[in-house]
């Protein structure tokens, strides 16, 4: 699948165009997309300054050198890119030219002035750019171009020939509003004259630097005025039923004085952002780009789900299912996880009350299972609400949330969004084998295979070994545990599954902690023996599963 070229354009300077592009590029790269950012604002370049602290090396060439290569009829033009260090993705920068320190080198201005763009086009530069464009979209998912302002030859290259879509950044004043729609029409007219098959532009207007904190009433008036002016830009991509005013509110980047100093990347700092932070709005802009300007009805209805879907679209989830349970149901959740793993489900535990779970910016699992005994814990509620906001998965697939409740739980006391879900009942004292099979069937949409009797014994042994606590009530119990574990190992070696099952039941009894919570730490040697036997049993289980 080829990539998409998007030009960030502004009729006037100083509106935050480069700032918006740089932060959008970082977000897309962190979400797993391959991104190329090109500084084509050759008269006033500066995109490299945003990425300067994160560059693998200083750019030694750039767009100007690309033009000179055409003049010199280079057989194989260079890439002219440098890697930006962004966790989780690929982000390359093509600067305007060679950078020394924080500035373009001394020869840059002279080399730029040597270029006559009209002459270049007369000599076939358009075809040369088409070849470069094909290379870029083959290598990257998104090519983001920082364009020259105003109306110029360079601006026409960036707005007419190269892009598939436009992002027009403007501020709330008449100098910007008077021309923001006309520029898009001029770009369409210019590309109609090109000998290349380009559809009409889809244009995303971004209202930038709106101060809605101090001057709320005036900000509201101008936002409504701006929505009316730019409404024509939404006509060929906004879903029917979503108004231009609704959409522009999502595409408004607020003015935050802290970020107005220097060239900064707030998306590197505000992670995850709250709704009053500038990165929140930048995430929305990046999500619309990632979603190819599509599914805007979801954005209007559930912004967090829209952004989450864009964030996860390029990757597969690490896990099929996350099991969330209070610590009082540790044993039940352990048994459920064990059963699901034996059925081939990639599953892990999410312990309610662990703040790190809620701080994660990504989602490790596609689906969530809540294990509930009587009432939902406060931490589980927070986790469930967070999941519900992100319930739309990659490519529109619906992620599922399941409730595993103890018999007798009053489901009417559950939050409304959980009462309507499918509930599975369980008895804490009974191994949740049937529930695991039902979950498997729903997640995989295929019936679970029947387990062999030996397989059941191995699962019991695995669960018992995993439940060995960090502490035992008194030192004398270590000898009993050690004897039982060695008995399990002997039964395993002899293939005596009945004896293995009996020894596993003994170990579960010995694993019970002291009621007052005190105890003696399990010796490392015993822990090593348990780990070794557990590894052997898991290998045998995997052999069954395979």
- pLDDT for position 396: 47
Backbone angles phi, psi at 32, to 5 degrees: 100, 5
Q: Tell me: the pLDDT tens digits for 84-140?
A: 998 877 999 999 999 998 889 999 999 999 999 889 988 999 899 999 999 999 999
Query: Six-digit token pair at 336?
Result: 């459920």
DSSP assignment, residue 325? E
Name, in order, each residue with C-beta under 8 angstroms of 266's C-beta and a sequence gap of 6 or more: 23, 256, 259, 273, 277, 278, 279, 282
Environment class of 278 (CB within 10 Å of its CB; exposed 0-12, middle 13-18, buried 19+): buried
Query: Which is nearest to 100 in space by CA: 65, 52, 37?
Result: 52
Is the pLDDT at 199 greater than 80? The verdict is no
CB 298 within 8 A of CB 306: yes
Q: What is the mean pLDDT of the chain?
A: 85
Lowest mean pLDDT among 275-289, 302-316, 363-377: 302-316
Tokens in use for 17?
A: 């165009």
Higher pLDDT, 286 or 478: 286
Could you give the residue ranges of the DSSP H alpha helices within 291-377? 296-301, 303-312, 330-342, 355-359
The Cα 41–Cα 145 span in angstroms is 9
Give φ, ψ of 64 to 5 degrees: -60, -40
What span, in angstroms and rounded, lies between the C-alpha atoms of 458 and 429? 19
252 neighbors 225 (Cβ within 8 angstroms): no
CA–CA distance from 177 to each of 200, 236, 237 (Å)?
21, 20, 20
The structure's pTM equals 0.64
Average pLDDT of the residues in 332-340: 87
Q: Provide the pairing of β-strand 165-170 with 471-472.
A: unpaired
Q: Where are the beta strands (DSSP E) in 113-241?
A: 142-146, 165-170, 202-210
Q: What is the pLDDT of residue 30?
A: 92
Look up residue 65 and give its two tokens.
């050198």
Query: Residue 408's closest CA among 380, 392, 431, 427?
Result: 427
> pLDDT band at 315, cuts 50/70/90?
low
User: CA-to-CA distance for 347 and 428, rounded, in angstroms?
Assistant: 20
pLDDT at 83 over 70: yes
Q: Do 8 and 253 touch, CB atoms closer than 8 A?
A: no
Q: Which residue has the tokens 């009729």?
A: 11
Label residue 395 by pLDDT band (50, 70, 90). very low
> What 8-state DSSP symbol labels residue 1?
-
| Strands 99-100 and 347-351, sheet pairing | unpaired
CA–CA gap between residue 27 and residue 23 (Å, rounded): 6
219 vs 197: CA distance, rounded Å: 41
Is the predicted pLDDT of residue 28 greater than 70, yes or no? yes
The secondary structure element, H or E, covering residue 438 is: helix 433-444
Q: Mean of the pLDDT values across residues 216-226?
A: 90
Start-to-end Cα distance in the chain: 33
Q: Considering all CA atoms of the chain, what is the largest pairwise distance in Å, rounded to the nearest integer?
A: 92
Categorize the per-residue pLDDT at 23 as very low, low, confident or very high, splitting at 50, 70 and 90. very high
Pairing type for strands 401-406 and 423-426 reads parallel
Q: What is the H or E stretch that residue 20 is in?
A: helix 17-30
């Amino acid at each position: 699948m080829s990539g998409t070229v998007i030009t960030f354009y502004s009729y006037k300077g100083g509106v935050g165009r480069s700032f918006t592009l740089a932060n959008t590029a970082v977000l897309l790269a962190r979400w797993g997309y391959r991104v190329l950012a090109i500084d084509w604002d050759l008269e006033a370049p500066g995109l490299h300054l945003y990425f300067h602290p994160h560059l693998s090396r200083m750019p030694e060439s750039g767009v100007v050198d690309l033009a000179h290569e055409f003049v010199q009829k280079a057989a194989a033009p260079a890439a002219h890119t440098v890697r930006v260090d962004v966790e989780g993705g690929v982000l390359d920068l093509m600067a305007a030219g060679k950078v020394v320190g924080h500035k373009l080198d001394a020869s840059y201005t002279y080399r730029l002035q040597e270029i006559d763009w009209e002459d270049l086009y007369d000599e076939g530069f358009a075809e040369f750019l088409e070849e470069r464009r094909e290379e870029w979209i083959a290598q990257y998912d998104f090519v983001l171009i920082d364009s020259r302002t105003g109306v110029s030859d360079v601006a026409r290259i960036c707005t007419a020939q190269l892009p598939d879509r436009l992002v027009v950044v403007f501020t709330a004043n008449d100098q910007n509003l008077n021309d923001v729609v006309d520029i898009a029409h001029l770009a369409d007219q210019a590309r109609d004259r090109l000998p290349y098959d380009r559809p009409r532009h889809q244009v995303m207007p971004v209202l930038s630097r709106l101060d809605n904190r101090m001057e709320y009433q005036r900000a509201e008036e101008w936002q409504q005025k701006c929505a009316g002016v730019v409404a024509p830009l939404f006509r060929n991509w906004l879903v029917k039923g979503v108004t231009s005013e609704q959409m522009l509110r999502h595409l408004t980047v607020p003015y935050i004085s802290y970020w107005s100093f220097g060239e900064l990347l707030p998306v590197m700092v505000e992670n995850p952002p709250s709704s009053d932070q500038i990165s929140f709005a930048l995430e929305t802009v990046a999500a619309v780009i990632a979603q190819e300007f599509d599914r805007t009805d979801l954005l209007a209805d559930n912004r967090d789900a829209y952004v989450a879907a864009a964030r996860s679209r390029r990757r597969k989830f690490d896990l099929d299912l996350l099991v969330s349970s209070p610590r009082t149901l540790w044993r039940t959740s352990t048994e459920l996880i064990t059963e699901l793993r034996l059925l081939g489900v990639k599953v892990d535990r999410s312990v309610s009350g662990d703040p790190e779970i809620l701080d994660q910016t990504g989602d490790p699992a596609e689906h969530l299972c809540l294990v509930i005994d009587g009432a939902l814990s406060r931490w589980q509620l927070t986790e469930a609400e967070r999941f519900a906001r992100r319930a739309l998965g990659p490519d529109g697939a619906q992620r599922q949330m399941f409730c595993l409740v103890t018999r007798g739980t009053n489901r009417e006391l559950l939050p409304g969004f959980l009462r309507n879900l499918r509930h599975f009942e369980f008895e804490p004292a009974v191994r949740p084998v049937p529930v695991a099979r039902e979950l498997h069937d729903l997640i995989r949409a295929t019936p679970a295979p029947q387990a062999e009797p030996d397989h059941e014994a191995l699962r019991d042994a695995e669960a018992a070994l995993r439940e060995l606590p960090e502490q035992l009530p008194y030192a004398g119990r270590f000898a009993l545990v050690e004897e039982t574990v060695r008995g399990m190992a002997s039964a395993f070696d002899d293939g005596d599954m009945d004896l293995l099952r009996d020894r596993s039941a003994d170990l579960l009894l010995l694993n019970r902690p002291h009621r007052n919570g005190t105890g003696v730490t399990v010796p490392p040697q015993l822990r090593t023996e348990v780990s070794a036997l557990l590894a052997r049993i898991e290998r045998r289980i995997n052999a069954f599963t395979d």
